Amino acid sequence: MSPRMSLEEFVNFARSNPVKAVAELPVDRLPDNLPAEMIRNTAQPLRGVLEKMAFDISMRELREHQLFEQTYGVAAARAVDMAHSNEVDIARSQLHQKIKDLAPALDSWRQKKMTNYAMGQVMLPLREMIAHVHTLRARLARAALVLADCRANPGQFSEKIQRNYARLSQQAREIDAVLGEFHTLNLEISAAEMHEKRKQINASDSNKKELFAQVEALEEIIHRPPSLANKLMPWGNRKQLEENKERLSELHQRILGEDWVMGETQLMRWLDVLVDANLYAPDQAQRLEEARKDMYFLLNAFCEQQEAAARNVARNPFVQADPQQAIKFMLMSERMILDYFARKRSEISEWLGSTASDRLSALDSLEQQLIVEMKQNLHLGS
């Protein structure tokens, strides 16, 4: 059996041969489809021949598809349908256009005319859209795995299986490319958010440390035994004591005002950004490195915050923690990282199917880097 023509080969044949020769082509030689636009733009009598050919191709594909489903099952037939669906093209085009539409906002943000928070709000619809794109990517991966299994016993459908497997692989590469665009952009914005949060925490910690030093000095004065002069003038001592207590209350209020907030949902979103950028935008090495360091800092800060809240600590949390307490913080961070990456491995295997192994090695490397850095910090701090 002669192989099917590609669409380009068919068009060249139709242009260089009489209509009669084109009409005599056997249906098995015809390409997978004849675009409707091409048929509309063709003059008679060739147009009539192409219209009949389009119908014959449809009937050929229907019969072949029915036989294919009987041979390999519904899942394999759906995998072929997926290969011919325009859903991937639509999703890829929409995502690419959404990214292009962000250009004015991005320019404003990069020129410091828009806050990180405002830029994050602009990104929300795009971030929500990504969930659908990842789901579509997972469907492509599952379809490719099904056809890969069919290749073990291809029979008369060898060409069909290989052709559609190649089509699914190409669609996956196209989806990955536009996901790379998004995750590069998302990393840039989220890295700025993370760094801003780190600066906020450092500033807050520095201010609190200074305020706690003032509290300790004032408490020492309040609890100091009265001098002989104060004993001789107790009314003056009482006045001074009340003023010091008012000042102490004011300092505590200022300490409370220095508290910072970082929820687990926000932290996990940033970790997701970092991981996805490792998978889809590995060329962003420098930005990834900087974001990884900020993520490590924020993970530890979050765990310390949770530990402090659990103990209801009202005193200075910035005094060097003892080794046992430092180990608690490290273990909380490590457990959080291990649990997160276990879930992420499962997601990536679903998204990427047979191509997941290379990406998973990158994930393993990132996980180990975060854990090793925490342990090194524990060693240095103890």
User: What is the structure's pLDDT at 371?
Assistant: 65
State how far Cα 83 lies from the chain centre.
Answer: 25
Q: What span, in angstroms and rounded, lies between the C-alpha atoms of 26 and 70?
A: 25
Beta strands in the chain (DSSP E): none
pLDDT at 306: 59
Cα distance between residue 184 and residue 176, in whole Å: 12
Task: Check residue 208 and give its pLDDT.
Answer: 78
**Rounded Cα distance, 176 and 179, in Å:** 5
Give φ, ψ of 211 to 5 degrees: -65, -40
CA atoms within 13 A on the CB side of 103: 4
Give residue 257's pLDDT. 64
CA distance 51 to 57: 10
**Residue 159: CB partners within 8 Å, gap ≥ 6?**
3, 4
pLDDT (0 to 100) of residue 258: 62
Is the separation of the CB atoms in 77 and 65 below 8 Å? yes
Tell me how far apart the terminal alpha carbons of the chain are, to the nearest angstrom: 76
Q: How does DSSP assign 101-170, residue by residue?
A: HTHHHHHHHHTTSS-HHHHHHHHHHHHHHHHHHHHHHHHHHHHHHHHHHHTTS-GGGHHHHHHHHHHHHH
Query: Phi and psi at residue 81, in whole multiples of 5°?
Result: -60, -40
Are 69 and 76 in contact by the 8 Å Cβ rule? The answer is yes
Helix, coil or strand: residue 233: coil
Question: At 278, which helix (H) or strand (E)?
Answer: helix 264-280
Query: How far is C-alpha 265 from the chain's CA centre?
Result: 14
pTM: 0.66
Domain boundaries, the chain: 1-72, 190-381
Residue 233 phi, psi (nearest 5): -130, 70
Per-residue pLDDT of the chain in tens (382 residues, 90 and over written 9): 567 888 899 999 998 999 999 999 998 888 888 888 889 888 899 999 999 999 998 898 888 888 989 898 999 999 999 998 888 899 999 999 999 999 999 999 999 999 999 999 999 889 888 988 988 988 898 899 899 889 888 788 888 899 899 999 999 999 999 999 999 999 999 999 999 999 988 888 788 777 777 777 777 777 666 544 454 444 456 676 677 777 777 777 776 666 666 777 888 889 889 888 888 887 888 888 898 888 888 877 776 665 554 444 434 444 444 445 544 554 455 666 777 777 777 776 665 655 556 666 666 677 676 666 655 654 444 4
Instruction: List CB contacts of 361: < 8 A, sequence separation 6 or more.
Output: none
Q: Which of 39, 33, 130, 126 is nearest to 83 (CA)?
A: 33
Query: Which pLDDT score is estimated for 165?
Result: 92
pLDDT at res. 360:
64
Count H helices, E strands: the chain? Answer: 15, 0
Q: Are 144 and 168 in contact (CB under 8 A)?
A: yes
pLDDT of residue 378: 47
